[in-house]
Structures are given as structure tokens and as C-alpha cells.
Amino acid sequence: MILVTGGAGFIGANFVLDWVEATGEPVLNLDALTYAGNLENLASLKDDPRHVFVHGDIADRALLDRLLADHRPRAVVNFAAESHVDRSIHGPGAFIKTNVEGTFTLLEAVRAHWLALDAAARASFRFLHVSTDEVYGSLGPGDPPFRETHPYEPNSPYSASKAASDHLVRAWHHTYGLPVLTTNCSNNYGPYHFPEKLIPLMIVNALAGKPLPVYGDGMQVRDWLYVKDHCSAIRTVLERGQPGQTYNVGGWNEKPNIEIVRSICALLDEMRPDPAGPYARLVKHVTDRPGHDRRYAIDASRIERELGWRPAETFETGIRKTVRWYLDHPDWVARVQSGAYRDWVDTNYAGRSTA
């Protein structure tokens, strides 16, 4: 069995589904079910004995100790995090609590569990920490992509909190010998993505005939990674990664935000035409967010060179699958758009003037 934290969120749920399908190994899934955690993402595993769900927080040491003692996982994969930049600007405290204090508590619980294992189990145990490319800061237009040795230069409360968690994980390896692995991924997209992030927000708003808010000039560049490719990368790193190492995981798909929005509009024009006209008519440029990093780009050559992993999807194939999924799952979209979600969207965009 492995322990997955944050396994009801977007990437975590996709990973749990992928893990059970690909390996058949049981998963102990710990999630606090905050705004982006959704058990409906795991509905297909509801009666599957290979999936054990526990509602709880990684900052709860007593709960962690009990779960580790009862289930004795051979590995821990840590997805649990507050992860939305805009939310971190409006309320940074929650990001410090979960991403820094929670990671510390989890590391200490796992270290105690690891030390209690017999020699063989201790040697094979792994703690994999899932992080982000945002810890590296922002790149200029002609700068080379982020490599694992790039200095940390976080620019938002979210990325600063994730950078802190990365440093804790590194320190627990170098100080205590805990066999850790860290992955820093680029922007994920795909099924079950909470509709506050760019791609699902554009799809959902377009289908509802609402404005498609694009920050500033829309020329912020990101590398885009289909979530199922990310899941396969994590499985690869967990199986073959070198303890203490960091692996960048990217899709080799650098694109500006405005191009992403136009691609979504074009696919919706094809798959679900709007009698009122092309969806691109709904694009509205709004005031940029504070401290918005201009460009992220991932150099994922280490994971390819050392572990043999490359993404299976291009952006064109991945975005088509993503748009199709949202068109095919209107009930999921309707249920996830709770009153709290609508309140959040209103809070974030109400004060942004049209640019």
C-alpha cells in the first residue's frame, strides 16, 4: 500500500485513479476536502477495496501517526497543498498553514514511521513530494527553461510557501537521511480540474456565454502538461528515482495564455457551436494580477535522460481530450460550482476593470 495525501484534488485524484488502474496496488488516500477536494472525482473507486479514503489534514500529527502505524505504507506521495496563486494573494495564511506547517508535520510523522521499519523496508521506502515550477520565479523571453539547478525565486505567497516546503523536504533528506524525491511540474490540465484555473474556467464560462477573462495582454507563457502524463511521470520517479534528487516534469508545450484561450474557443466552435457566434467574441482582457510571473518553462531532460520518461500527449491532443471531457461531464461541472465557488469567482474578478 502507498499513502497519497491530497488525493481528492485535481492532480491527486487523477493520480489515484491512474495508480489503481496501472498497478493494482492499494492506496490510502488522506484529504482534508477543502474547496478543491472532491470525492466525486473518485466515484469509480467507491466500492473498490483497493482505495481507502480518510478525511483528514496533514497537519494532524496524531491522525498521521495512527494511519502510518495501522496501514504501514511502503511509500508516501504528497500532493496536499493550497495551490491557487490568486487565492494566495487574497488569503496567504492558509497557504503557510498547509504548505509549510502541514509539510513539516507530515515529514516528522513519516520520519518516525520510517525509522521504525526493519532494515529492508527502510531501504525501499520513499517519500515523494509533488511541487511546482513556480518556485523558480519568472523567465525572460529568451532565457533557457528552468533546470533542476535553477535558483529558487518565488514571487507569490503560493510559490513562496511551496518553495519553503521543497526546502524542508530537502533538509529532511540531508539531515535525517529520509529517502525523499521531489518533482517540480509545469501547469497541469485535464479531467477533474476545478474551474477556477485558466483552462476549465474558459471552457465553463464559454459554454455559459459568460466573459472569458484574460489577464493583461494574455502573453504570459506557461508550459502545459496533460495531467495523465504527470501521473505517469510520478509513477516513474517513485519507482526509479534517486533519493535526494529533484526531477522537473514538463510537457514541452510553451504557449501564451491568449493562445490557450483561442485554442479552447476554436475547439468549442467545432464540438459545440454557439448560435450566437464564435466563442472568441467572449474574450475580455482584464487588469493583470499583482506580481504575475511572465514566463515559466521547464527543461524536463533529466527525467528523460535518467528515467526514460517523456509525455505521451502533445498540447493539441491533450486539450482536445480535456474539452471533450468537460462537454461529456456537465453534471460534474454543475455540482462543483457550489455557492462558495461562485463567491470566489466574484471576489477575484469583480474588482478587475476591463483592460
The residues annotated as belonging to the active site are 133-134, 158
The SS3 assignment for 221 reads: strand
Cβ-contact 295, 220 below 8 angstroms: yes
Cβ-contact 294, 137 below 8 angstroms: no
Report how far residue 220's alpha carbon sits from residue 141's, in angstroms, rounded to the nearest whole number. 10
Q: Name residues whose C-beta falls within 8 Å of residue 342's C-beta, 6 or more positions apart in sequence.
A: none
- Which residue has cell 523567465? 139
- Which residue has cell 467545432? 270
Per DSSP (E only), the strands in the chain are: 2-5, 27-31, 51-55, 75-78, 126-132, 180-185, 187-189, 212-215, 221-226, 246-249, 254-256, 283-286
- Within 10 angstroms of residue 93's Cβ, the number of other Cβ atoms is 10
- Within 10 angstroms of residue 99's Cβ, the number of other Cβ atoms is 28
Burial class (CB in 10 A: 0-12, 13-18, 19+), 227: buried
